[in-house]
Structure 1
Amino acid sequence: LADLIHRFAALLDPADGNAALLSTWITSAQAEDLPHLHAFTRGLEKDLAAVDAALTLPHHNGSTEGVNNKTKLIKRQMYGRASFPLLRHRILLG
């Protein structure tokens, strides 16, 4: 299990050959007797095109997701306590 995890972690750094390496990793992971890992590999196979893109392309939307997460956090903290102008002020200054 540890070897499979380390090999998968190496794929998380985007590179051109990662799509082929992912296919061999899935095959070797399914050959093991680890049911939870089988469920993970089935999930990868269901959306293989998106997983291949994530592992091969250098583009991502992490900064956008970070801003969305921060905005939702501030909104949850202020729920029922203040008006929209204060929420806007906290988002713009935070």
Structure 2
Amino acid sequence: MLTWPGNLTDTRRRLLDDLITACLEMIDLAGFACAFAGLLRPRDGNAVRLDGRIATARAADLPHLHAFTRGLDQDRDAVRAALTLPCHNGGAEGVNAKTKRIMRQTHGRAGFTPLRHRILLG
């Protein structure tokens, strides 16, 4: 459900369909996840679409979605900026995540110089 719908392989599409048909709550959850994925590309009308998606999630009888929408409400300005503005810090966050992963793998066994080389070569 967390993959772009167009990127699903046939096997994963069948698995998702089986999962959705096995549980009625999964129909609402899958629909919401797919609709919310469409908001992740910044566009001008996404702020209005976000309000509609939040209203749809609140209408569903899924407590976890209600918790998710409360989290969106707590930081509404940041969420709107992320969904509407073309600039983002995804590249910097990717580098930070990669650096943290390398540091966790070494568990402090390497000093700064080997860590630096591993980051630059990775």
Question: What is the TM-score with the length of structure 1 in the denominator?
Answer: 0.87
Gaps of 5+ in 2: 1-27
- Verify: 1:11 aligned to 2:36, yes or no: no
Structure 1 runs of 4+ off > 6 angstroms?
A: none
Whole-angstrom CA distance in 2 between matches of 1:26 and 1:4: 9
- Deviation, structure 1 residue 89: 2.0
Q: Which amino acid aligns with 2:81?
A: A
Gaps of 5+ in 1: none
Relative CO higher for 1 or 2, CA cutoff 8 Å, sep ≥ 6? 1
- Verify: 1:65 aligned to 2:93, yes or no: yes
Local SS of the residue matching 2:105? helix
Q: Which amino acid aligns with 1:87?
A: L
- Verify: 1:77 aligned to 2:105, yes or no: yes
C-alpha RMSD over aligned residues = 1.5
Match of 2:69?
41
- Deviation, structure 1 residue 8: 1.4
- Verify: 1:90 aligned to 2:118, yes or no: yes
Q: 1:85 to 1:6 in 2, by over 3 A?
A: closer
Question: What is the TM-score with the length of structure 2 in the denominator?
Answer: 0.69
The alignment covers a number of residue pairs equal to: 94
Per-residue CA deviations over 1:24-56 (Å, capped at 9, x if unaligned) read 211121122111111111111111101101111
2:55 to 10, 22, 27: 27
Per-residue CA deviations over 1:39-87 (Å, capped at 9, x if unaligned) read 1111111111011011111111111111111111222222342322222
Local SS of the residue matching 2:86? coil
Identity %: 64
More displaced, 63-72 or 78-87? 78-87
